[in-house]
Amino acid sequence: MRFDILFVLQSLAIATLARPGWGSSEKYPLVGFGKDNPIGETTGGKGGCTVTVSTVAQLEEAVQGTEPRIIRLKGSFDLPKRLAVGSNKSLLGVGKGAKINKSGITIAHGTNVIVRNLHISHILDDDCITISNTTRVWIDHNEFSSDISMGPDEYDGQVDIIRASDWITVSHNYFHDHWKSSLVGNEDSFRDIDFGHLHITYHHNYWRNEGTRGPAGRFGHQHVFNNLYEDFLYQAIHSRSDNQVLVEGNVFRGNSGEALSTYGLVIPEDSPNTSPDGDWEIDGFANLGARNDWGPATINITQVGTFTKAPYKYKLTPLRNVEKEVKKHAGLGKISV
Ligand SMILES: *[C@@H]1O[C@H](CO)[C@@H](O)[C@H](O)[C@H]1NC(C)=O
Ligand SMILES: *[C@@H]1O[C@H](CO)[C@@H](O)[C@H](O)[C@H]1NC(C)=O
Ligand SMILES: *[C@@H]1O[C@H](CO)[C@@H](O)[C@H](O)[C@H]1NC(C)=O
Ligand SMILES: *[C@@H]1O[C@H](CO)[C@@H](O)[C@H](O)[C@H]1NC(C)=O
C-alpha cells in the first residue's frame, strides 16, 4: 500500500518535471480560437527553459525577447510600471497563484503568450491585462478583482483586447468586484484596423459583482459559452459596430441587468464620467447557439448575424451543471504549477 502511494507520487512528479507548465493540460485543455486557428496553436514558452522568479527585477528580465520561456511566478509582485511581455512566453503563478498589483501586464506587437494562475488586482495605471496587436494568447485560471464601489472610471478594464489582436482564448477566470471587465476593440475610429480580427473564445469564466463589458466587442467575432454571471449589474455581453457574437450555454444569476445586447448605444452606466449620455454606435449582431439560462436578465437582439457555428471542436457543459462546474473550476489554485 505504502509502496503504491510512493510510486504514484513519484510518477506524478516525473510527469510534471517532464512537461513543465503543462502538468495539468489534460485536465483543462486549451479550447477555442487560441488553439484552432489558421496560424497555429498557442503554446507560450513550451520547448524553452523554465525559470522561477520571485522579484520584480527577475520577472522584468524573464519576459523580454522572443525566445520561448516558461516563467514561474512565486509570491507578490508590486509592479512599478507595466510589464511588457515578449512573444513565446508562459507566465504561470506557482501554487495558489502569484499576485500582481499596482501596474498591469501589456502583451503587444507579438504572438504566442500564456497567462495562468495570477491574481491581478487594484491596477490603477490602465487595464489589468492589455492585449494589443498580438495573436495567439491564452488567459486561463486567473483572478481579477478590485473595488466596484469606486465607480466605473477608477479602474480600467480587466482584459482588454485591441488593435487587430486575434486567435485568443479567455477561460476559467474569476472576474469579480470590478466595473469594466473586457473590452474588445476600444475605439470606434479603429474600424479599418480591427475589422475581421478579434476572434476570441470566452468559456467557463465566473463573473461576479461586475458592471459592464462581459465582454463588449466591436468589429470582431466572439464565441461566449458556458460562463456564469452573478450580479452582473448593468450589461454583460454587448455586440456593437458590426461585431458578431455566438452566445450559448451561459447562466445568469442574482441581480443581473442586461445579459446580451446588440443595440449600438454604449450605455451611460459604462463610463458616465466620459460620456454621461452614452455614445452612439451602429448595432452589432448576435446568434444564439445552445440554450442559455438568462435568469433575471434581459436580452435585446436587434440583428441576427452569420456567426452560427464555432469553427472548432468544443464540449458544452450541460446547462444545469454550468453554475456548479464554473464555481468549482474557475480561478486560482486549480492547475498544478
Ligand atoms: C517567437 O516569436 C516570434 C514572433 O515574435 C516568432 O517569429 C518566432 O518564430 C518565435 N520563436 C520560436 C522559437 O517559436
Ligand atoms: C499589493 O501587494 C502588496 C504586497 O506585495 C500589499 O502589501 C498591498 O496591500 C497590495 N495592494 C493592494 C491594493 O492589493
Ligand atoms: C504590430 O506588430 C508587428 C510585429 O508583430 C509590428 O511589425 C507592427 O509594426 C505592429 N503594428 C503596429 C501598428 O504597432
Ligand atoms: C433595444 O433596442 C432598440 C433598438 O432596436 C431600442 O430602441 C431599445 O431602446 C433597446 N432597449 C433597451 C432596453 O436598451
Mutate to test the pocket of ligand 4, among 237, 261, 263 (most ligand atoms within 8 A of CB): 263
Mutate to test the pocket of ligand 1, among 39, 87, 89 (most ligand atoms within 8 A of CB): 87
With respect to residue 334, please indicate whether it lies within any of the assigned structural domains.
Answer: no
What is residue 121's predicted lDDT score, i.e. its pLDDT?
Answer: 97
With respect to residue 141, please indicate whether it lies within any of the assigned structural domains.
Answer: yes
With respect to residue 335, please indicate whether it lies within any of the assigned structural domains.
Answer: no
> What is the percent of the chain with per-residue pLDDT over 90, rounded to a whole number?
88
Averaged over 213-220, what is the pLDDT? 98
> What is the percent of the chain with per-residue pLDDT over 70, rounded to a whole number?
93
With respect to residue 105, please indicate whether it lies within any of the assigned structural domains.
Answer: yes
> Which is more confident, 273 or 212?
212
58 lines ligand 4 (CB under 6 A): no
Q: Whose CA is nearest to atom 8 of ligand 1?
A: 66
Largest interatomic CA distance in the chain: 69
Averaged over 100-124, what is the pLDDT? 97
Amino acid present at 116: R
How would DSSP label each residue in 166-235? EEEEEES-EEEEEEE--EES--GGGHHHHTT--EEEEES-EEEEEEE-SSEEESSEEEEES-EEEEEEEE
Query: Which residues form the domain of 251?
Result: 3-329
Averaged over 271-283, what is the pLDDT? 86
Of the ligands numbered here, which is closest to the C-alpha atom of 150?
Answer: 2
206 lines ligand 4 (CB under 6 A): no
Q: What are phi and psi of 172, to 5 degrees?
A: 55, 30
**DSSP-H helix ranges across the chain:** 2-18, 56-62, 191-194, 319-329
Q: How many domains does the chain have?
A: 1
110 lines ligand 1 (CB under 6 A): yes
Please identify every residue annotated as catalytic: 213
Kindly give the distance from the C-alpha atom of residue 181 to the centroid of ligand 1, in angstroms, as a whole number: 30
Mutate to test the pocket of ligand 1, among 112, 113, 133, 167 (most ligand atoms within 8 A of CB): 112
Distance CA(105)–CA(322), nearest Å, equals 30
Averaged over 257-282, what is the pLDDT? 91
With respect to residue 337, please indicate whether it lies within any of the assigned structural domains.
Answer: no
* Residue that has been written with the C-alpha cell 473550476 in this structure: 329
Residue 4 has pLDDT above 60, yes or no: no
Of the ligands numbered here, which is closest to the C-alpha atom of 146?
Answer: 2
Ligand 3, atom nearest to 108 Cα: 2
pLDDT in tens, 293-306: 999 999 999 999 99
The confidence band for 276, taking pLDDT boundaries of 50, 70 and 90, is confident
Averaged over 302-312, what is the pLDDT? 98
Q: Are 251 and 291 in contact (CB under 8 A)?
A: no
What is residue 335's predicted lDDT score, i.e. its pLDDT?
Answer: 96
Q: Whose CA is nearest to atom 4 of ligand 2?
A: 76
CATH of the domain at 311: 2.160.20.10
Residue 187 has pLDDT above 70, yes or no: yes
What is residue 24's predicted lDDT score, i.e. its pLDDT?
Answer: 44
